[in-house]
Structure 1
Amino acid sequence: MTAFADARHEIRRRLAALGEAGRKHSPLLRRVPTLDRLIEAAARVGYGALGFVYLSAGVLTLLAATDRIRDAAGSKEATFWLAEQPFERVWLILLGLGLLAFVQWCVLQSVFDADHVGTTWKGLMKRASQACNGLFHGILAVSVFGLLKKQPVDPNAVETAANQDKAAMVLSLPFGDWLLIAIGLGIVGVGVSNIVNGLREDFTKKLACSAKVCRRVAPLAKAGNVARGVSFIPLGIFVVLGGLHSRASEVRSFGAALDGLEAQPGGPWILAFTALGLMAFGAFSFVEARFRRIQPPHDLNPLT
């Protein structure tokens, strides 16, 4: 292991020296930002794309809660809405690239510990959460690029049908009903975890801004994470019901699950507050795009 580490460091040292030599002798290369700056810029673009998605989802959900439009929207449904706007191909390409930039930052966070949370149990749980975050938004980025080829007529119906097909595939497996229940409980667990983190965690620790600015944006982070957690719970419940009843038809899309929340007593108010929270999450993502401390990992070693 030591010999491998020494070889890795030597390769990195030689590549760095080669890069510096090239920058010294080439005016063109001198204009190219360093790798650290490129990674930082990509991460900031990624947070900006994340902010756009959740702010859009929050606005559309608020319009649904006030009966201005028919369906509430999750992150994927928000991208469907974007596909219906003027210059949709330009916006979709920019959003897809932005989400991929966020995914690369999630990889650096989870695999190479860019946030320096360590390898303790708590640190590994944090990195696992970052990996899931990257996976989810990677799938979202792929779906955004897919919209360049074909745009659905009814986004919620298309997404619901896709989720039901996946649920049917799970149910066809041995102990598929129990597996679907476990998936649903996992989604509920993600929601509860977001709520707990929203209430407990200080999200301003990683912001490079003044104490005054941090105090002002902290409520956005807390409200946003709580609302994001709440928005996961209806979807998880419908997946659990699909497993309990062994019916894939119970499963819904993210937006349709929020519509189901609206049908409950006091649902429109809960949906409206959830929408405002999603907007807050999007707004805080823009704050992170501007102020978050982004430090590429010093060593590309997953065990550090």
Structure 2
Amino acid sequence: MAGAGAISGLARAGFIARGVVYLVIGALALLVGLGYGRHDLDRAGALVAIAGEPFGVLLLWLLFIGFVGLALWRAVRAAGSAESGGHRLLDAVRAVIYAIGAWSIYQFLAHGRTPTTSDASAYDVSARLLRSDDGRALMVVLSLVAIVVGIAMVVHAVSKRFAERLRTGWMTYRTRDLVLRLGQAGHIARGVILAAAGFFALRAGLSDTPGEAKGLDATLRSFAQTSFGPLVLILVALGLIAFGLYSFAEARWRRTLGGVPR
């Protein structure tokens, strides 16, 4: 298609941007697991942490461009992909998510508005749903969907099905093995987090208590409160770091809309 090369280039820049965000969140979570963390473990905390580093503002502008690229790429796929309707709908949802992420970065850079924390967002959404007539039932359904999707992500990771999206034939054997291991660890961590967040949302819906719902920050911190102590949080944090590194590999070898990786 016309412009496929340019859109693919933007998508690859977006994968790098996504990788940076996951690396930062994973590093922050690892520090919390080791007893040294001070930032929120979500996108808001990542933006604040990046802004406080040398050349942080420049990096945030590059992240903004990357997320715009991902949003555009997903939108193009949703509009013109030959895949099934379910895949196109998922691409459309992801396009909106990445667009919101890009907008929050712009608001932070242009107006100094720190994005709402994930915990505050989870509480607000839960409170609104539980106040509506059919909101409680909808919240329970959405929570179950999140749990199922989280479990499916773990199964997807174990089976290495995500490798179908990569040009593995362009990798050496060692590189392919490393990328697949990073992808497995990263997708498992994301699946565990989503399933856990779904569980907390389900508990909030069943108990009619919005405060039971947890965003990314509180969900990650809850892993440190298990009988294994901070070990679970450390393992999940390492998984997020692995997904960040895997995102860099996607920027190099992901099948996008055209063009040959160089």
- Is the Cα–Cα contact under 8 Å of residues 64 and 72 in structure 1 kept in the other structure? no
Q: Look up the match of 1:203.
A: 162
Q: Look up the match of 2:142.
A: 183
Distance change >3 Å, CA 76–CA 131, structure 1 → 2: farther
- 2:63 corresponds to 1:63: no
Give 3-state SS (helix, strand or coil) of 2:203's partner: helix
- Is the Cα–Cα contact under 8 Å of residues 76 and 140 in structure 1 kept in the other structure? no
- 2:112 corresponds to 1:150: yes
Deviation digits for residues 25-67 of structure 1 (CA, Å, limit 9, x no counterpart)? xxxxxxxxx7232112111101111111111111111111111
Select between 56-65 and 136-145 the one with higher mean Cα deviation. 136-145
Q: Look up the match of 1:219.
A: 181
Give 3-state SS (helix, strand or coil) of 1:204's partner: helix
Query: How far apart are the structure 2 equivalents of 1:217 and 1:197?
Result: 15
- Is the Cα–Cα contact under 8 Å of residues 108 and 296 in structure 1 kept in the other structure? no
Q: CA RMSD in A?
A: 2.5
Amino acid at match of 1:43: A
- Is the Cα–Cα contact under 8 Å of residues 72 and 258 in structure 1 kept in the other structure? no
- Could you tell me how far 1:227 is from its partner in structure 2? 0.8
- 2:65 corresponds to 1:103: no
Distance change >3 Å, CA 283–CA 97, structure 1 → 2: same
Give 3-state SS (helix, strand or coil) of 2:162's partner: coil
- Is the Cα–Cα contact under 8 Å of residues 40 and 46 in structure 2 kept in the other structure? no
Query: How far apart are the structure 2 equivalents of 1:266 and 1:130?
Result: 37
User: Please, which of 129, 149, 152 is the counterpart of residue 90 of structure 2?
Assistant: 129
- Could you tell me how far 1:217 is from its partner in structure 2? 1.3
- Is the Cα–Cα contact under 8 Å of residues 74 and 94 in structure 2 kept in the other structure? yes
Give 3-state SS (helix, strand or coil) of 1:203's partner: helix
Distance change >3 Å, CA 106–CA 267, structure 1 → 2: farther
- Could you tell me how far 1:75 is from its partner in structure 2? 4.0
Note the 1:285-300 alignment, pairs <5 A.
285-296=247-258
Give 3-state SS (helix, strand or coil) of 2:230's partner: helix
Amino acid at match of 1:96: F
> Can you give the 5+ residue segments of structure 1 that lack an aligned partner in the other structure?
1-11, 13-33, 298-304
Q: Look up the match of 2:201.
A: 239
Give 3-state SS (helix, strand or coil) of 1:147's partner: helix
User: Please, which of 145, 161, 164 is the counterpart of residue 120 of structure 2?
Assistant: 161
TM (norm. structure 2) is 0.86
- Could you tell me how far 1:181 is from its partner in structure 2? 1.7
- Is the Cα–Cα contact under 8 Å of residues 152 and 191 in structure 2 kept in the other structure? yes
> Can you give the 5+ residue segments of structure 2 that lack an aligned partner in the other structure?
none
- Could you tell me how far 1:251 is from its partner in structure 2? 1.9
Query: How far apart are the structure 2 equivalents of 1:187 and 1:142?
Result: 25
- Is the Cα–Cα contact under 8 Å of residues 198 and 221 in structure 1 kept in the other structure? yes
User: Please, which of 64, 68, 77 is the counterpart of residue 45 of structure 2?
Assistant: 77
Amino acid at match of 2:68: L
- Is the Cα–Cα contact under 8 Å of residues 235 and 253 in structure 1 kept in the other structure? yes
- Is the Cα–Cα contact under 8 Å of residues 39 and 45 in structure 2 kept in the other structure? no
Give 3-state SS (helix, strand or coil) of 2:41's partner: coil
Query: How far apart are the structure 2 equivalents of 1:85 and 1:97?
Result: 19
Amino acid at match of 2:250: E
- Is the Cα–Cα contact under 8 Å of residues 83 and 151 in structure 1 kept in the other structure? no
Distance change >3 Å, CA 190–CA 76, structure 1 → 2: farther
